[in-house]
Structure 1
Amino acid sequence: MTPTITYHEFQGQNDALRNPRSASERDRTKRACLLTLLTLLVPGGAQVTVGSRALGRIALAVTVACWFTILLGLAMYFTMRSVLLSALTQPFIMWTASLVLAALAIGWLLLWLDTFRLIRLGQLAPGLKPILVVAMVALMTLTSGGLGYASHIVNEGRQALAGIFSGGAAIPADEGRYNFLLLGADAGEGRQGLRPDSIHVVSVNQSTAETIIFSIPRNFQNAQFSEDSPMREVYPNGYNCGNECIINFLYTEVHNSYSHLYPEAEVPGVEAMMDAASGTLDLNLHGYVMVDMDGFSELIDAMGGITVESGGWVPYRGRHPETNQWGNRWFEPGTLELDGDDALSFARSREHSNDYARIQRQQCVQQAMIGQFSPQTLLTRFTEMMTAGENLVDTNLPQSQLGSLLSLAADAQDHSPQRLTLGAPDFGSSGELFSTYPDFELIHARVEELIAREGDGSEEPDSDTQDEPDTSDDQAAPEEVTEPPGPTPEHSDEAVAGDEPGEEPTPEPTELTQPDGSALTELYLIEAQQRGEVGLLEQAATGNGDCSPAE
């Protein structure tokens, strides 16, 4: 009896997708490319088409669920951003997300391997085989490898956030405001412990996200403590023991002598600084963020360094280029590639110059970090940057509130902040010594005035102010320069973050040469410094605030 073939069986035998053996070489090539694209764009599509339909249906369901989650996240970002960010920054959510991403990576890998089986490599043209294998391995690495790396990043981020933020409950606003203390702290060479030299209180309106920034000069004296502060036992009339009691020394004093007054505090010195800022401004503070400059240096190193264009000679302390002895160094004008330590030296330098030039360089370093930060940097150096971030920032803000605070910070960018400095020029001239003999009733009145001004459309322009110039060489080597007991304003460094110029800009530099007419060199300036030729050094440093991030 002659066997019969039904119509559907005949169609199946001639279907290139399901029966490639009977197809032409060209059709088999098309089939292989189609299955590869389906696995890339619609995971599970290849299995539904020619393979295990049960596996394919499961994969398609997961794919649809993933797209639904992404679209829901986008919708929530534009309508419920605070809720979304709060959820995404919770430890359990981040842990779950890392597991889900890892599972998706494994699942997609299995689909790729099954697709490789379905393609039937042995039936393809010899010249196509290596091309297809290389392409599939590359796509497998891009998709499954990318999801695996994303899982790693989320888990690293979860651990980093847990190391930076506290695990307490969310902090309620006080009279509709959040007030935070921001400190830029440094334990520089020749110093007695860590000093918070940049002291700001940021007050944010919970409803409108309008912001007021209060700057407290580092040499502010007679700071008042809040009514419930244990420091009132030691200083009932405020921090008022003369030049020994400028506010930036309070942290060290409490750490060394009065930590027992804050038995439950992880960082007693910061708690005392919060009490002082609270009593001085008559505001209840909710938390603090302290940026440590050593961690700042580590972050720059984690980014791979920064590049700036310097318009003048910048003195600093370092190793002699020839003898390797510790001493005076100079950054030359032009393009500078700076690692973390060099970036801090470049930003801090003020010898033979002034605070205005120094602040310009500080802002230049900040802009270079922002401008030269890229997704490639984040992806390739994520672990290093997270580690540096843990060393850079210390805070008592709860992680449970991170999302809402991030949303509030984003909204605050739509408003120009009001600013008030507790000293010149907002309270008289520098000669009136308001920072030394402050009028607290006047301070409280000005604080209330700025808060009342919110929302009336009369936001105060930025007040570009600075503390009194400091001409000390804060890059001195420990073995050569030591700090005398008791702090003075002249021995303080300001942190890189948050400074703004308040003096007239320096004039353009003049062209200087050596006596023989040749161009200046670093070695010549080092020798001139040893000879005490201060006039020449000041001319060389003129204009060193002319700085811009490299393109």
Structure 2
Amino acid sequence: MTAAPDRRAVGPESRESRRRELGRRFRRAVGLTALGTLIPGAGLTRTRNRRLGWALVAVTVVALAALAWFVLTHGVMRSGLALAGRPELLRFAAIAFVVGGLVWCGSIVLTAIRTRPAWLDRTRSRVLAAFTTVMVLLVGGTSYKAAEYATITQDTIQSVFKTNTTGTTEGPQLAEGEDPWANTPRVNILLLGSDAGVGRTGTRTDSMIVASINTHTGNTVLISLPRNLQYVPIPKKSPLRQLYPSGVYGKPYCIRQQKDSSDGCLLNAIWTEADQWAANHPGSYPGVASPGRETIRDVISEVVGLKLDHTVVIDLKGFVQLVDAMGGVEINVRTGAYGGRLPIGGHVVNGKVVGVNGYFEPGLQHLDGYHALWYARTRAADDDYARMGRQRCVIKAVVNQVNPAAMLAKYADIARIAKDNIYTDIPGQNLSAYVDLIERVQQAKITSVALDPKHGVNTASPDFAVIRKAIEKALNPPKPKPKPAGTATHETVAPETSTPSPTPTPTPSGTAGLTNEDEC
């Protein structure tokens, strides 16, 4: 009977062989642990737990193949938005990331245990343990962030993208297939800039723009409504008719009671008026989350003569943060309507501009959120109507320059900004379709309807039939007549005349102006 070899009695060659074998097994343990970090279960396929390893590999391959097929057939952006628009899938994804991450981390630890040599020295044992810990932290951290992003997305979608619970509109009915807009020729979106915030009473909508988009071409008409538009029509269904039975905002109550108010009975005061009426008359707006928002939407729909499909409201802080998130915006800064530099900040007191924090210098500039906001808001050096033109310019710049893919890098910040500062009734499941629509708008033409005195609109005594006629002409312009070669194309045209003019000029009384291109 042969005696077992004594490990303590080994020669130099045996010790060297053992050292080399130990190094090989250590490298194998590190390599398989790293492989298990790259592909769940792959390291276990070379251990006694190979069946478990192959099962994890198979699940991973099937999941990745299904994901790759979906992304290839729908595109990266569509795929992400398809997931984002379905809260139940986001909840499932968050759970899957957590469970999958735990299983993956467990397989890494098990791989390290199964492949660790039994007689490994203390130094290499510590190295292997540290390496395994780093791999577990890498996978666990990634899984945690993925689950966090899924949860943030679910929370943001449910907070921001709400369907209208009042039944006033269901929005456009999107089609199935490659083009969701195939059955919807036009969509009208109300864009409201709200000045609600700390230190302000009520909500005033100093920026009110209807974006009417041809869904097939992307051509867009921006209709700016003056904040000081008076005697606007109140829809018959509005509870505010109880206060203004004439159906006209300002007759007779407002003239008697608010004639000394700076807001008067202007269009931008309706939100606050409706909220105050609802607060004093509980139950007057049943099932309506925001009476002011609902009322201003209905009134503007009456003014422009269009059915508004959706509303988007962003407050001042949210606008600043969003522009900063997209890295700023390039704007060709102009002088004021009267030729002077535009102030940053400031307001008029007794005919003098006070509180100015600086001035905009004319020319192409890269503006951050703060300065882009003030370029759109300032009116101390000119008037509301010039400000409306600058607001349209800023909107055009943001639409044309925003890069949805690039903004994904700041996804968590943007989600927080949207949740805190933006409201819209666009359903979350329609996000993919609206991203497609924005891409079409970026490649198309944006024109404007100017409802101001320069273009024949008397804001103190407006003719809404004339306003609606101008808007209709902007949405359905007559086909241009063939022109001789070499004829210049002009930028501005008045709807009531066929004579083009190279610069904006006052139109005759009783007409409204169509501006093909703002001076941006």
Normalization by structure 1: what TM-score?
Answer: 0.63
CA distance, structure 2, for counterparts of residue 299 and residue 407 of structure 1: 20
**Matched residue, 2:47:** 50
CA distance, structure 2, for counterparts of residue 221 and residue 264 of structure 1: 29
Cα deviations across residues 83-128 of structure 1 (Å, max 9, x unaligned)?
A: 8734541111111111111111111111111122133166567765
- Give 5+ residue unaligned stretches, structure 2: 4-16, 174-183, 256-262, 334-340, 347-353, 362-366, 483-488, 494-515
Task: Identify the structure with bigger relative contact order (alpha carbons < 8 Å, sequence gap 6+).
Answer: 1
CA contact (8 A) 1:315 1:351 kept: no
Q: CA deviation at 1:258?
A: 5.3
Q: CA deviation at 1:435?
A: 3.1
Q: What is the aligned counterpart of 1:412 among 441, 444, 459?
A: 441
**Matched residue, 1:197:** 206
CA distance, structure 2, for counterparts of residue 412 and residue 315 of structure 1: 30
Which runs of structure 2 are paired with 1:117-516 in the superposition (5 Å)? 117-120=113-116, 132-167=128-163, 171-173=170-172, 176-187=185-196, 192-226=201-235, 228-232=237-241, 234=244, 236-241=246-251, 244-257=264-277, 261-296=284-319, 316=345, 330=357, 378=410, 382=412, 385-423=414-452, 429=454, 432-453=456-477
Q: CA deviation at 1:308?
A: 11
Q: CA deviation at 1:442?
A: 2.8
Q: CA deviation at 1:392?
A: 0.4
Cα deviations across residues 151-196 of structure 1 (Å, max 9, x unaligned)?
A: 0111122112212222568934287433221100003687542101
Query: What SS does structure 2 have at the residue aligned with 1:184?
Result: strand
Give the partner amino acid of 2:446. Answer: P
Cα deviations across residues 469-527 of structure 1 (Å, max 9, x unaligned)?
A: xxxxxxxxxxxxxxxxxxxxxxxxxxxxxxx9967x9xxxxxxxxxxxxxxxxxxxxxx
Query: What SS does structure 2 have at the residue aligned with 1:245?
Result: coil
CA distance, structure 2, for counterparts of residue 403 and residue 373 of structure 1: 13
Query: What SS does structure 2 have at the residue aligned with 1:238?
Result: coil
CA distance, structure 1, for counterparts of residue 266 and residue 491 of structure 2: 26
Identify if the C-alpha distance between structure 1 residues 457 and 41 changes in structure 2 by more than 3 Å, giving closer, same or farther: farther
CA contact (8 A) 1:212 1:418 kept: yes
CA distance, structure 2, for counterparts of residue 212 and residue 315 of structure 1: 29
CA distance, structure 2, for counterparts of residue 456 and residue 131 of structure 1: 77
Query: What SS does structure 2 have at the residue aligned with 1:137?
Result: helix
CA RMSD of aligned residues (A): 5.1
Identify if the C-alpha distance between structure 1 residues 402 and 235 changes in structure 2 by more than 3 Å, giving closer, same or farther: farther
**Matched residue, 2:349:** none
Q: CA deviation at 1:78?
A: 3.3
Identify if the C-alpha distance between structure 1 residues 314 and 108 changes in structure 2 by more than 3 Å, giving closer, same or farther: farther
**Matched residue, 2:177:** none
Query: What SS does structure 2 have at the residue aligned with 1:201?
Result: strand
Are 1:92 and 2:102 matched, yes or no? no
Identify if the C-alpha distance between structure 1 residues 204 and 315 changes in structure 2 by more than 3 Å, giving closer, same or farther: closer
Identify if the C-alpha distance between structure 1 residues 180 and 304 changes in structure 2 by more than 3 Å, giving closer, same or farther: closer
Give the partner amino acid of 1:163. Answer: S
CA distance, structure 1, for counterparts of residue 323 and residue 128 of structure 2: 42
Aligned-pair identity (%): 24
CA distance, structure 2, for counterparts of residue 452 and residue 386 of structure 1: 37
Identify if the C-alpha distance between structure 1 residues 353 and 236 changes in structure 2 by more than 3 Å, giving closer, same or farther: closer
Query: What SS does structure 1 have at the residue aligned with 2:193?
Result: strand
Q: CA deviation at 1:393?
A: 0.9
Give the partner amino acid of 2:54. Answer: R
Identify if the C-alpha distance between structure 1 residues 211 and 76 changes in structure 2 by more than 3 Å, giving closer, same or farther: farther
CA distance, structure 2, for counterparts of residue 189 and residue 139 of structure 1: 47
CA contact (8 A) 2:236 2:247 kept: no
